[in-house]
Amino acid sequence: MKKIYIIGLLFGMTFTSCSDFLDKMPSTSLPVEEAITTMTDLKNAVNGIGYLMSEGRMTYSADFAIFADLRGGDFQAISNNNQAGPIARYTMTKYDQAPYYAYAYFYQAIANVNKALSAIDNIQYSEEEVAEFNDYKGQLYAWRAMLHFDLARMFCNIPTATADVNAANSGLVLSTEVYETDYVGSRSTLKQTYDQILEDFKTALPLLTTEKNNGYINYWAALALRARVYLYNGQYDLALADAKEVLACPLYKLYTRDNYVESWSKTYTDESLFELNITTTYNAQRNSVGYYCDSEGYAECAFVETAPLYQYLSTHPNDIRSKMVKDQSGKDFTYPAKYPAKYPGRENNLYVNNPKIIRLSDVYLMAAEAALHEEPDKAVDYINDLRKQRIENYSNVSSVTLEEILMERRIELFAENTISFDYWRNKMSVDNFSVGIVNYDDYRVILPIPQDEIDLSGGKLIQNPKY
């Protein structure tokens, strides 16, 4: 059995942050040190994963929500606050905060999942609670799959853009059970990493509810997330099959021109397959994504006005997505620029925005891209269906290219943590504002393993190339 060291097991004893979230334990979460013996404990353990991944640096409601956007060509860091700025400027080293926080939070969350799963078969429940028990169990497996996948997007190359998915140390240190704190792990291959992710989704899906489950991962969210993994893994037929199943579900529908703008200030809207519940009590505070996207916050996610995305949005007023630009370019603003308007905050609080981890538009665009490989004549149908709900007096096009699909992703999914990944997994480059062209095989497309981890492993953990 592979030995493994999980930074999350020691994280709570050594780590502090702006939010000081470890000093306050939500009543609905369960510390990893406590026993999990009842259905209430199990529910609290599931809730605790979401809270943990909502309140700190490089989590889903913080800088990770715009990670791929900052590394692409459409956004720039205006200020020098040096929170998300180093991500945008490609200045991160193995000693920097962003890789450390990402590694620590994600692995702590996985360790908490494993703690819950290790006790789950001992939990007593009634016949009436069977479906609920299965759903919680499925959510834990789905969380573990998603957490490993997003770690892989940050710290590993993408399979479709890699010469050898079986190369030694090309994947993650996989975490699938509870380990002793002195265990030291070794990195898997990239293929083993993606195999584990897909195995966890396979386990999760038949357990999950097919009903809407706001703030939680249900069957449809897990299926959409698995389609995303298949797309990154080059399994286009399976990505398309999952996407088609999600699109056939009557529980969700595309935003329309009438409700698109308002949807960003509301929770659990028509397209939302999975979003985390962020409140005035539980949020990432100054590291919240809304704070990065505002002149009076950290101001580290502003439009590059010469880039293709802004040029499109500023010249296509008939496209409702052009309304998602927040103009704070006047002289009275602290960091004058134009910012994405997808994180306006609720209750007049920039900290409070539910991150839409996956929504229906993304599934349409994944279906279009996968169909381009499998059913080329059908790819354009998904693009036309989406654009009809976005562009006034839209006329269908008869064909679509990969470049056009990727541009549509930029227009639809900007500031949603996808764009640079989209280009790199298709073996393309991005034109970053600060450093210029970053090709898919540039060593900087993945983060360095934190040096603390290398040191704690006694040098057994292999660093990413050129770091």
Residue-wise pLDDT for 290-339, tens only, equals 999 999 999 999 999 999 999 999 999 999 999 999 999 999 999 999 99
Bridge partner list, 272? 359
Residue 373, domain member (yes or no): yes
Number of domains into which the chain is organized: 1
- State the residue range of the domain holding 71: 7-442
Residue 457, domain member (yes or no): no
pLDDT of 227 reads 99
pLDDT of 21 reads 29
Q: In terms of Cα–Cα distance, which of 221, 219, 228 is closest to 153?
A: 228
* Token output for 122: 């001992």
DSSP class of residue 34 equals S
Check which CATH number belongs to the domain holding 81 and give it: 1.25.40.390
Q: For the CA atoms of 106, 111, 116, 122, what is the dihedral angle to 10 degrees?
A: 160
- For residue 276, the Cα-to-chain-centroid distance in whole angstroms is 11
Contact 337, 295 (CB under 8 A): yes
Residue 227, domain member (yes or no): yes
**pTM value?**
0.93
* Token output for 247: 């699109």
Q: In terms of Cα–Cα distance, which of 320, 288, 412 is closest to 359?
A: 412
pLDDT of 183 reads 86
Residue 240, domain member (yes or no): yes
Residue 89, domain member (yes or no): yes
Per-residue pLDDT of the chain (467 residues; tens, 9 = 90+): 233 334 443 333 333 333 332 223 333 344 444 578 999 999 999 999 999 999 999 999 999 999 999 999 999 999 999 999 999 999 999 999 999 999 999 999 999 999 999 999 999 999 999 999 999 999 999 999 999 999 999 999 999 999 999 999 999 999 999 998 888 899 999 999 999 999 999 999 999 999 999 999 999 999 999 999 999 999 999 999 999 999 999 999 999 999 999 999 999 999 999 999 999 999 999 999 999 999 999 999 999 999 999 999 999 999 999 999 999 999 999 999 999 999 999 999 999 999 999 999 999 999 999 999 999 999 999 999 999 999 999 999 999 999 999 999 999 999 999 999 999 999 999 999 999 999 999 999 999 999 999 999 998 999 999 99
Helix (H, G, I), strand (E, B) or coil at 371: helix
Residue 203, domain member (yes or no): yes
Rounded CA-CA distance 288/292 in Å is 7
- Sign of the alpha-carbon torsion through 174, 176, 181, 185: negative
Residue 450, domain member (yes or no): no
Residue-wise pLDDT for 403-456, tens only, equals 999 999 999 999 999 999 999 999 999 999 999 999 999 999 999 999 999 999
Residue 269, domain member (yes or no): yes
Bridge partner list, 430? 438
pLDDT of 444 reads 98
Q: Which helix (H) or strand (E) holds 413?
A: helix 402-413
Rounded CA-CA distance 381/396 in Å is 9
